[in-house]
């Protein structure tokens, strides 16, 4: 058996050394952070982008590459947390935005591309008959829940005021359950159920059925660590909510990219409502919520009892133009299949390298989304994710940064269409080098 105390001590020493090298290598980013901290709390306005000892400042992106303030070049395999599926400054999207700019923006009226983008979404996502746009996935979930609550109330279930979510779920900055909850969450009454636990979730559904207006779930939990939902678990949620008259909402803000019609199409499980975002707006600020016609009709302004839905930039011409080209002409069903097949092959290669090296390291996910975990356990629950070694994960991020590979601090990866075989090979080679060179520090306990 390895001496765990010795391994941990050596790991901390290696981590300290990697942090020092990172600081020495990035003096301009450090100065940028110090300057930003004078006008923003912690120099930050988006929590996930903070990283100790300080975040790098990115100054340029092109294709699948990024450059930081100190002139270092990176292969971008983060893909802006799934939003950057087209890479940086895709020429077709750039032309669409340029055309939109030539005609002006902020019209205060409808524009020619919004109906086109809506039709593309409704044609592709099985659960969506009608759709409405927002500015983010967070807004999409907020509005979907508002509609579901009123749907329950007008359907004779006024007592249904509670929402079922799942431990590890993330539905935006005000619907955050990765750590069980957040002080800034919306003030719903939550029933937090165990993810991928069929019997546990079914028991909670039965116990609270009369109180629940909706069940909100990611078919793969992205922020938790690319934790795939078991199809049998998701099918149980569909069966139980349908039987009890509870609105089932799939949050496919991230996962809609994993098949032409999202994971609901891949698994053949159709919810009542779906929320979308990220890449569908062509890489611009975007969100959407949609679903069954009778539910979405609540937002029809021709009705006397219509629900209001505001948002100055819901249909902004730049996003509508970028989305219509990106979703309609670039991320076609064929492109979706190809990108996700590439991701499956890459993840298999990375896990084979980890297994060959005999290290406590692995990658979970589906298709073009994956996350690194410093553990030997299969990733099926939040407990499996939590079993990973946090120091090893940080060392992985620091080593990838030093190798010129841009990933999330938490080990998250989302492949883009801009990546070529040589770029994917470079990332895989960097991971293979990491698990070999750090093998003694990553031994299973």
Q: What are phi and psi of 316, to 5 degrees?
A: -60, 140
Checking if the pLDDT of 2 tops 70, the result is no
Catalytic residue, chosen from 278, 384, 399, 423, is 278
Residue 340 has pLDDT above 70, yes or no: yes
Q: Please tell me the predicted confidence (pLDDT) of residue 150.
A: 98
Residue 345 annotated to the active site: no
Residue 5 has pLDDT above 80, yes or no: no
Residues 193 and 204: beta-carbon distance below 8 Å: yes
User: Each residue of 264-279: pLDDT tens digit?
Assistant: 999 999 999 999 998 9
Q: What does the CA dihedral 407, 412, 415, 420 come to, rounded to 10 degrees?
A: 40
Please write the tens of the pLDDT for every residue from 196-205.
Answer: 999 999 999 9
pLDDT of residue 6: 47
Q: Report the distance separating Cα 117 and Cα 252, nearest Å.
A: 17
Is 1 a residue whose pLDDT tops 50? no
Catalytic residue from among 68, 76, 251, 272: 251
Instruction: Mark whether 423 is an active-site residue.
Output: no
Taking only the tens place, the pLDDT of each residue in 306-315 is: 999 999 999 9
Q: For 82-102, what is the mean pLDDT?
A: 96
356 is catalytic: no
Average pLDDT rounded to a whole number, residues 228-256: 98
Instruction: Dump pLDDT digits (tens) for 370-413.
Output: 999 999 999 989 899 999 999 999 999 999 999 999 999 999 99
Distance CA 388, CA 180 (A): 18
Mean pLDDT score across all residues of the chain: 96
For residue 417, cis peptide bond before it (omega within 30 degrees of 0): no
At 8 the pLDDT is 72
Q: How far apart are CA 273 and CA 121, in angstroms?
A: 13
What is residue 438's predicted lDDT score, i.e. its pLDDT?
A: 97
Mean pLDDT over 359-373 rounds to: 98
pLDDT(3) > 70: no
In Å, what is the CA distance from 23 to each residue of 53, 54, 330?
7, 8, 39
Between the CA of residue 249 and those of 148, 269, 284, 328, 391, what are the distances in Å?
A: 9, 11, 24, 24, 36
Q: What is the pLDDT of residues 50-80, one digit of tens each?
A: 999 999 999 999 999 999 999 999 999 999 9
Choosing from 22, 74, 170, 176, the catalytic residue is 170
What is the reported pLDDT for 4? Answer: 54
d(CA 104, CA 109): 12
Please, what are the domains in the chain? 4-85+334-441 (3.90.1150.10), 91-330 (3.40.640.10)
145-183 pLDDT, tens per residue?
999 999 999 999 999 999 999 999 999 999 999 977 899
């Amino acid at each position: 058996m390895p001496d765990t105390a010795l391994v941990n001590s050596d790991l901390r020493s290696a981590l300290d050394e990697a942090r020092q090298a990172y600081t020495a290598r990035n003096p301009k980013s450090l100065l940028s952070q110090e300057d930003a901290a004078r006008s923003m709390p912690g120099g930050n306005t988006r929590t996930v982008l903070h990283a100790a000892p300080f975040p790098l400042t990115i100054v340029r992106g092109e294709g699948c590459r990024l450059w930081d303030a100190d002139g270092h070049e990176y292969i971008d395999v983060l893909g802006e947390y799934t939003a950057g599926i087209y890479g940086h400054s895709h020429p077709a999207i750039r032309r669409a935005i340029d055309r939109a700019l030539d005609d002006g923006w902020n019209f205060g009226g409808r524009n020619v591309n919004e109906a086109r983008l809506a039709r593309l979404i409704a044609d592709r996502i099985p659960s969506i008959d009608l759709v409405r746009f927002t500015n983010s996935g967070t807004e999409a979930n907020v509005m979907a829940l508002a509609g579901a609550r009123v749907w329950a109330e007008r359907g004779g279930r006024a007592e249904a005021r509670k929402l079922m979510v799942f431990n590890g779920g993330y539905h935006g900055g005000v619907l955050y359950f990765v750590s069980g909850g957040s002080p800034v969450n919306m003030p719903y009454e939550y029933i937090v159920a165990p993810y991928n636990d069929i019997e546990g979730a079914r028991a909670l559904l039965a116990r609270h059925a009369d109180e629940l207006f909706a069940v909100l779930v990611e078919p793969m939990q992205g922020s938790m660590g690319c934790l795939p939902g078991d199809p049998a678990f998701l099918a149980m949620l569909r069966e139980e909510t349908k039987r009890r008259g509870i609105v089932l909402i799939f949050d496919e803000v991230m996962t809609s990219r994993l098949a032409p019609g999202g994971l609901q199409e891949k698994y053949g499980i159709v919810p009542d409502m779906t929320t979308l975002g990220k890449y569908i707006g062509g890489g611009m600020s975007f969100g959407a919520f949609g679903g069954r016609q009778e539910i979405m009709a609540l937002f029809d302004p021709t009705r006397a009892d219509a629900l209001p839905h505001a948002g100055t930039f819901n249909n902004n011409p730049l996003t509508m133009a970028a989305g219509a080209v990106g979703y309609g002409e670039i991320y076609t069903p064929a492109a979706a299949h190809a990108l996700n097949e590439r991701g499956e092959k890459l993840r298999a290669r990375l896990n084979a390298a980890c297994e060959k090296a005999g290290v406590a390291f692995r990658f979970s996910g589906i298709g073009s989304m994956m996350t690194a975990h410093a553990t030997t356990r299969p990733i099926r629950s939040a407990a499996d994710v939590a079993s990973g070694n946090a120091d090893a994960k940080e060392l992985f991020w620091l080593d990838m940064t030093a190798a010129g590979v841009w990933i999330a601090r938490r080990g998250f990866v989302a492949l883009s269409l801009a990546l070529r075989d040589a770029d994917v090979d470079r990332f895989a080679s960097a991971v293979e080098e990491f698990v070999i060179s750090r093998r003694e520090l990553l031994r299973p306990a």
